[in-house]
């Protein structure tokens, strides 16, 4: 069993500025742990990318699965505070992470075109109005507010996945049932010929959370 990253260096004050790991975070860790052998032995990644890394808990955990220094672990977040904490979380757990402050993956394409072997995204998925999403100045609200169907940020990320994934690449995406996961799977299949499966689903309070896994047809 791979231990959950140590987050003792993060104070309650920090959590006023960065998303605190919760059930959604831990479901993503469980999915990566379930696939650990596959990721180490079959994917053998060179470059991994997490969009919206928050505290860096997920990428640090991935680094523990792969072994520090095995792959380049790039993280992005729109929140600069999150990137500072992501950096500290990596250091605190002896995993080198490369956090970048940007919107989704702005500035990373086309350089990273078809070069990401493991891609993870626990997006802002909560159903809100578009106004809530775009008018909010609160960085924590931006961490969870997803607009209509909770899909507004997710839908911006989907076309990028196809550009980023390498031939052997895999993409892990956390969704809730309100995000219409079957519709997301259809979009990825019909538009980009990406295969998918539901790797995990779990109830967290009233939320049904799922981890979808996507890969290219060529594998
Ligand atoms: C639900 S939180 C997940 C955080 C962390 N990955 C975890 O699992 O605990 C979503 C994260 O995405 C970030 N985020 C929101 N919109 C973004 C965007 N357009 N580009 C990059 N990051 C974004 C938020 O700042 C937040 O850290």
- Cα of 153 from ligand 1 centre, angstroms: 10
Tell me which residue has its CA closest to atom 12 in ligand 1: 52
CATH number at residue 140: 3.40.50.150
Asked if the structure places residue 130 within a domain, the reply is: yes
Asked if the structure places residue 204 within a domain, the reply is: yes
For the residues 96-105, what does the mean pLDDT come to?
98
How many structural domains comprise the chain?
Answer: 1
Asked if the structure places residue 179 within a domain, the reply is: yes
* Residue 140 belongs to domain spanning: 27-216
- Ligand 1: residues with CB < 6 A are 19, 21, 25, 28, 51-55, 57-58, 76-79, 82, 103-104, 122-124, 142-144, 153
Do 142 and 124 touch, CB atoms closer than 8 A? yes
Tell me which residue has its CA closest to atom 26 in ligand 1: 143
For the residues 111-135, what does the mean pLDDT come to?
94
pLDDT tens digits along 173-207: 999 999 999 999 999 999 999 999 999 999 999 99
Do 74 and 47 touch, CB atoms closer than 8 A? yes
Render the burial of 41-68: b for 16+ CB within 10 Å, e for the rest. Answer: eebebebbbbbbbbbbbbbbbbbbbbee
Residue 218 has pLDDT above 90, yes or no: no
pLDDT tier at 168 (50, 70, 90 boundaries)? Answer: very high
For the residues 67-73, what does the mean pLDDT come to?
94
- Which has more confidence, 136 or 72? 72
């Amino acid at each position: 069993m791979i231990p959950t990253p140590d987050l003792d260096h993060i104070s309650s004050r920090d959590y006023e500025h960065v998303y605190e790991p919760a059930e959604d975070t831990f479901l993503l860790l469980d999915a990566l742990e379930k696939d650990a052998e596959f990721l180490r032995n079959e994917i053998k990644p060179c470059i991994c990318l997490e969009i919206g890394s928050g505290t860096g808990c997920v990428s640090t955990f991935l680094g523990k699965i792969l072994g520090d220094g095995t792959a380049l672990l790039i993280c992005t977040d729109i929140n600069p505070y999150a990137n500072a904490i992501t950096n500290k979380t990596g250091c605190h757990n002896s995993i080198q992470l490369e956090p970048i402050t940007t919107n989704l993956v702005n500035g990373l394409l086309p350089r990273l075109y078809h070069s990401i072997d493991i891609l993870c995204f626990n997006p802002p998925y909560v159903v809100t109005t578009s106004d809530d999403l775009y008018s909010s100045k609160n960085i924590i609200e931006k961490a969870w507010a997803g607009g209509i169907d909770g899909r507004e940020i997710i839908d911006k990320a989907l076309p990028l996945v196809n550009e980023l994934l390498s031939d052997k690449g895999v993409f892990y995406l956390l969704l809730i049932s309100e995000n219409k996961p079957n519709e997301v799977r259809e979009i990825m299949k019909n538009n980009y010929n990406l295969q998918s499966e539901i790797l995990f689903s779990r109830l967290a309070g009233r939320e049904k959370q799922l981890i979808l896994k996507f890969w290219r047809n060529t594998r």
